Amino acid sequence: MNSILLSAIWGIVMMFSGVFTQSKSAIRYTAILGLILLLLVTCMDLGGCRVDINVHKMLYFDTFGMLGNSIAFASTLIYVLLSGRDMEKVGHNLAEYFALVFFILCGLSIVTSFNTLLMLFLGIEIMSIPLYILTGSDKRNLKSNEASLKYFLMGSFSTGLMLLGIALLYGASSTGTFFIDDLWAGKTSSEPLFMAGILLMLVSMGFKVSAAPFHFWTPDAYDGAPTVFTSFMATVVKVSIFVGFVRLFDEGFGASKEKWQLFVALVTAATLFIGNITAVFQQSVKRMLAYSSIAQAGFMLLSLMALNQVSKEGILLYAGAYSLATIGIFAILIRMKDYTFEGFNGLAKQQPVLAATCTIFLLSLAGIPLTGGFFAKYYMLSSVVATGHYLWLVIFAVLCAAVSVYYYFRVIQAMYFKDGDGSTEEQPSAGFKGLLVFVAALILLLGIFPQTLLDLLSKIVYIY
Amino acid sequence: MSIALFCIGVAGVLTRRNAIIIFMCIELMLNAVNLLLVAFSKMHYHALAATNPNAGIDGQLFVFFIMVVAAAEVSVGLAIIVMMYRNTHSIDVNFLNRLKH
């Protein structure tokens, strides 16, 4: 509850900060302050110290959702610290961009704590509508316009599908309710109406997390959007929708798992395959990262298959590792002159720190041991193995991870083993480098002690 | 009937090339859902009215939320279309292939 209230209020504060001050750094510091506060109140929330408002059970706050929130807020904080300066280059409305970011955070804290389909719908819309605007924020750039229009049309189309799904589930429920716990109540066999509802929800949530075959908007929207906002869309927003996705299917449809599991398995396999294979053929690193985010979504979908304790812990770990690494890579990518693979040629000689941290981020995304990405992937796979079914999917996922090594290593190879004048637009500041090293250290820490993140957070719960 | 309306909307989105018509088709889909929700609400009311006089009220509440969100979406969507029109002087979505390569 705390985080929903604070992020909504801070969004308005940010809007007004643009009126009262012209100083860009003042606006940025206000945003950073807001994010730190947001992180603090989420920790307080975890400890049970929260503003109590009677929401008629429409929202339900559990540790899973709140841990998801705190990971999202922490990665947003790192994101703003790393790339806040680059937001200024997009346009003149810096304060409004930050306001929209805070409204998105408000939406995502609703998505991670919904208890009725109504709240799920509202949360997803509160997230999506500011995102359409952020995608198109580079108003003069035709690519940005195009990305924004495509994203908007596909996004609202999938909203329509989701609403039809919700309406069908409502019609199928025996008591006429939107509460996700009661949807299955009083049913023994699956009715066609109920199944159609579940499938439509799967399709529309698949759209939002860019799972194949509903991923067509992703490369275009990610490529066309200003790179700073692509970074935000691909990480914070995506993983939070995943938290909501897992929550919906666990609590709402968990009882009818056998019926829909096959569909999820097919979607997962398609996502892994298309994401990884298409990423291999890309020439631009930004577009490659868009496809790699589809491939990573495939891995996160594995947790939806398993729906056990391991998978819930795993998705949080994955969310942390994936967000940190991707935010780091994008922060470096924004500074590059040239977004193609050739643009990275010889970066190691010019900017050794950037190249080294970038290597760690890429290794983590590829899932090489000693990085956070390895254990995240390991948790996902072992959660599916624990269910005892769908072993073919696990083998397939491992093969796809092997393919992914190829395109991540292409960047590393370009940086270290090729000669060229790959360089950044301007000399990165010492603070930026320091922060990158810190993020890389966090990823290594996650890789060496994978329980650290989860333990640390559960300790906070224990202290309160 | 609402399913039919919805299908018209989906078909429109998939086949038309004019951004505004696609947009109207999406609105059509949302309104089809509204109709469906009201119908289901009525159905639940008839089934459960004896035990619970408020049965089915949730569905009607949902309709209002859909209307509000649809209005918000329209405002953002039209703004995006206007922005694109200013730059390209066209609202044909076939124009949108610059990102393909």
Percentage of the residues of chain B whose pLDDT score is greater than 70: 92
**pLDDT attached to residue A174:** 79
Percentage of the residues of chain A whose pLDDT score is greater than 70: 96
Does A151 contact B at CB distance below 8 Å? no
**pLDDT attached to residue A452:** 67
Does B72 contact A at CB distance below 8 Å? yes
- Per residue, the 3-state secondary structure of chain A, as one string, reads CHHHHHHHHHHHHHHHHHHHCCCHHHHHHHHHHHHHHHHHHHHHHHCCCCCCCCCCCCECCCHHHHHHHHHHHHHHHHHHHHHHHHHCCCCCCHHHHHHHHHHHHHHHHHHCCECEHHHHHHHHHHHHHHHHHHHCCCCCCHHHHHHHHHHHHHHHHHHHHHHHHHHHHHHHCCCCCCECCCCCCCCCCCCHHHHHHHHHHHHHHHHHCCCCCCCCHHHHHHHHCCHHHHHHHHHHHHHHHHHHHHHHHHHHCHHHHHHHHHHHHHHHHHHHHHHHHHHHCCCEHHHHHHHHHHHHHHHHHHHHHHCCHHHHHHHHHHHHHHHHHHHHHHHHHHHECCCEHHHHCCHHHHCHHHHHHHHHHHHHHHCCCCCHHHHHHHHHHHHHHHHCCCHHHHHHHHHHHHHHHHHHHHHHHHHHHCCCCCCECCCCCHHHHHHHHHHHHHHHHHHHCCHHHHHHHHHHHHHC
What pLDDT, in 10s, does the model give residues A29-68?
A: 999 999 999 999 888 887 777 777 888 888 888 888 888 8
The C-alpha of B99 sits at a distance from chain A's nearest C-alpha, in angstroms, of 6
Asked if B48's CB is within 8 angstroms of A175's CB, the reply is yes
**pLDDT attached to residue A459:** 62
What pLDDT, in 10s, does the model give residues A422-435?
A: 667 777 888 888 99
Residue of A nearest to B78 (CA): A149
Mean pLDDT of chain A: 87
What pLDDT, in 10s, does the model give residues A83-139?
A: 888 888 888 888 899 999 999 999 999 999 999 999 999 999 999 999 999 998 888
What angle in degrees, to the nearest 10, is found between the helix axes of A451-463 and A63-87?
Answer: 110
**pLDDT attached to residue A327:** 93
Asked if B13's CB is within 8 angstroms of A149's CB, the reply is no
The C-alpha of B10 sits at a distance from chain A's nearest C-alpha, in angstroms, of 8
Band (pLDDT 50/70/90 cuts) for residue A80 is very high
At residue A464, does pLDDT exceed 50?
no
Segment A280-295 shows an average pLDDT of 91
Testing the interface with B: which of A156, A168, A287 to mutate, by most B Cβ within 10 A? Answer: A156
**pLDDT attached to residue A462:** 55
Residue B18 is part of a domain; what is its CATH number?
Answer: 1.10.287.3510
Query: What whole-number distance in Å separates Cα of residue A242 and Cα of residue A233?
Result: 13
**pLDDT attached to residue A463:** 53
- Of B9, B48, B83, nearest to A145 by CB-CB distance is B83
Asked if A143's CB is within 8 angstroms of B73's CB, the reply is no
At residue A460, does pLDDT exceed 60?
no
- Of B13, B87, B95, nearest to A157 by CB-CB distance is B13
pTM for this entry: 0.92
Under a CB-based contact definition with an 8 Å cutoff, are residues A348 and A355 in contact? yes
Number of domains composing chain B: 1
Segment A241-260 shows an average pLDDT of 85
How many beta carbons lie within 10 A of that of residue A12, not counting itself?
12
**pLDDT attached to residue A396:** 92
Supply the range of the domain harboring residue B92: 2-100
Segment B72-82 shows an average pLDDT of 92
